[in-house]
């Protein structure tokens, strides 16, 4: 009948799906075989409103290691989702008149995508990502007061040993005074007895990361981290943790330079990117103005 468009309905066929799964498995196994690729090229699996889904489109839908009914269901869901998207879109086109606002938004989005792709390509090709130590230090000295911690930071040593491990008294004594001699003793002891050993005397770690290794959760870290140079011992029925705190910083305090360094580099790199794009836009505009591509009418 004139004026009636044909829309193919989607009805999953389990026999067809099983055949497809077998087909896809063979295709995946011989994906490097040129003959197989030629044989399946352009062969449609399903048609919906003039849109085709081909066998080769489905070849990589099933993740590796999944077989049987699970694979069949994955393919079936994919095909049904594909068909549903087309059917809903076709129905929407029939019931929504051409809208100038939609066309304007689509055009604006397309323009934005193209501009973004062009700018990112230029940024990757021309913008240096090297940030010098002098730049980061200068930024830190200027804005350090605004760089606040959102987590407690700790420097120190953490060792976890089984309850009843040998020389526990000596280990506690060494951990209470981790000078160069005792650190050597702690490290040798850790190699033989420790289930977990972390040395971070010269780097900052968030206490939330340290806490993941402790046998008991700490509800109030600020109370635990009360004294630099102190040793904290906690245990459960299996393990004893010994944490030596060389230094600590609490939430809300100023970030130390070494800890804030990477964040500062990201800030400076983003600034450099903004300045680069601003100069690029200005150069394009000025070139067009001088070349007569921008014409003002009186």
Length of the chain: 298
CA separation, residue 262 to residues 51, 130, 139, 149, 267 (Å): 49, 12, 12, 14, 9
pLDDT score recorded for residue 15: 54
pLDDT in tens, 225-244: 877 888 999 999 999 999 99
Phi and psi (nearest 5°) for 223?
A: -75, -35
**DSSP 8-state class, residue 41:** T
This prediction's pTM: 0.64
Q: Flag residues of the chain having pLDDT under 50.
A: 1-9, 22-40
pLDDT in tens, 121-151: 999 999 988 999 999 999 999 999 999 999 9
Distance separating alpha carbons of residues 188 and 173, to the nearest angstrom: 15
Which residue, among 90, 96, 98, 77, has the nearest Cα to 51 in the 3D structure?
90
- Which residues make beta-bridge pairs with 176? none
pLDDT in tens, 77-100: 999 999 999 999 889 888 887 778
């Amino acid at each position: 009948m004139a004026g009636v468009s044909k829309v193919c309905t989607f009805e999953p066929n389990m026999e067809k799906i099983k055949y497809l799964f077998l087909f896809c498995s063979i295709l995946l196994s011989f994906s490097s075989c040129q003959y197989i690729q030629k044989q399946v090229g352009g062969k449609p699996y399903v048609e919906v409103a003039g849109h085709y889904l081909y066998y080769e489109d489905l070849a990589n839908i099933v993740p590796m290691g999944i077989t049987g009914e699970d694979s069949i269901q994955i393919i079936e869901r994919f095909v049904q989702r594909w068909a549903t998207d087309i059917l809903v879109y076709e129905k929407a086109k029939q019931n929504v008149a051409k809208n100038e606002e939609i066309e304007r938004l689509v055009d604006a989005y397309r323009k934005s995508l193209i501009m973004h792709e062009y700018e990112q390509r230029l940024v990757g090709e021309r913008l240096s990502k090297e940030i010098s130590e002098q730049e980061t230090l200068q930024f830190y000295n200027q804005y350090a007061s605004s760089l606040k911690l959102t987590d407690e930071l700790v420097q120190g040593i953490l060792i976890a040993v089984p309850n009843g491990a040998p020389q526990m008294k000596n280990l506690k004594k060494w951990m209470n005074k981790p000078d160069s001699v005792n650190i050597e003793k702690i490290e040798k002891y850790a190699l033989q007895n420790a289930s977990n050993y972390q040395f971070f005397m010269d780097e900052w770690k968030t206490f939330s990361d340290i806490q993941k290794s402790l046998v008991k959760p700490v509800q109030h870290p600020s109370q635990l981290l009360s004294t630099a140079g102190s040793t904290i011992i906690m245990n459960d029925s299996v393990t004893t943790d010994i944490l030596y705190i060389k230094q600590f910083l609490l939430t809300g305090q100023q970030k130390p330079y070494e800890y804030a360094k990477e964040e500062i580099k990201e800030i400076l790199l983003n600034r450099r990117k903004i300045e680069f794009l601003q100069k690029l836009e200005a150069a394009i505009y000025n070139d067009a103005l001088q070349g007569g591509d921008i014409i003002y009418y009186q």
